Each structure stands twice: as C-alpha cells, then as structure tokens.
Amino acid sequence: MKSEKSRPESGKPQFAGCVEVVPPLPTFVEFITARHLWGIPLRQLEFFVLASNPESDGKKTSPTDMLVLVFETRLAFLFGWRLEQMLDPLMQGRVKRVHAEKFLGTLMIGEPWVSEIVIVPRFATLPL
C-alpha cells in the first residue's frame, strides 16, 4: 500500500530521478480576436514566413512584423512587433494561444505583441 506522500500532486513532476514527465503539448493553437476564436490543429502547420509588414507605413504605431503561418487548410497572418520571439516556441509546439491586442495597455515589454490576426482559407484568392 502506497503512503499519501508517494502520490503525485497536480502540477508537480511525477518523478524526480532519471525520468522526467513533461506536461502534454497542446494539440490546437487558438487565435483570438475581439470578434472570433479560431482553433487550428498544430499538426497541420506546414511552414511559416516571418517578414516585414508590407503595409507598414513607417509610423511607430504601425506593426513592423508579419508572421504567416501556413496550415493545411488555413493561412494565419499575424501582424505585430517582436514576432521573431514566437518562432522557437512555435517550432517546439508550445504555442497554445495567440491574442490580438490592438491597444498598448496590455503590452508586455520585451515580449511579442500581436495587434492583428487574419485567418483565411488556404486556397482563397488573396487581394495583393
């Protein structure tokens, strides 16, 4: 019979020696705006492109970065600042949720900030 102390507690590692059990990775990534919530399976992510925002007009208030996430069925366009900081967590499958925050009130200095999210069907005609 196991003692009470040997039971794993929620949020604590199950083992402390040779084996480490990590929390399960998310299976979906959520994209949240003021009007929508999209959930797209992470396994559908085929590639991404980080570029300068072609719509940036050089003003400090215009997002400088654009991150395009290409999924099997959707394209996700993220506009913001310091989006390069999302790349490692994205490649490791650790990004669970992305919020679009238009106003600076919620800005965390030194972290990526997404001001706009656009999700379109992958094979839709895009106005360029």
Confirm whether 100 is domain-assigned.
yes
Three-class SS state of 104: helix
The pLDDT of residue 122 is 87
List the chain residues with pLDDT less than 50. Answer: 1-4, 6-8
What's the domain range around 91? 25-121
- Work out how many domains the chain is built from and give that number: 1
Query: Residue 14: inside a domain, yes or no?
Result: no
| pTM of the full structure | 0.77
Question: pLDDT by residue (tens digit) across 8-19?
Answer: 455 555 555 677
C-alpha–C-alpha distance, residues 58 and 91, integer Å: 29
In a domain, 10, yes or no: no
Strands annotated E in 1-128 = 28-32, 37-41, 45-52, 65-71, 74-81, 97-99, 113-121
pLDDT of residue 30: 95
- What contacts 20, CB < 8 A, 6 or more positions away? 13
Does residue 61 form part of some domain? yes
In a domain? residue 47 = yes
Is 8 domain-assigned? no
9 domain residue, yes or no: no
Of 24, 13, 33, the C-alpha closest to 99 is 33
Per DSSP, the three-state class of 60 is: coil
Q: Is position 105 within any domain?
A: yes
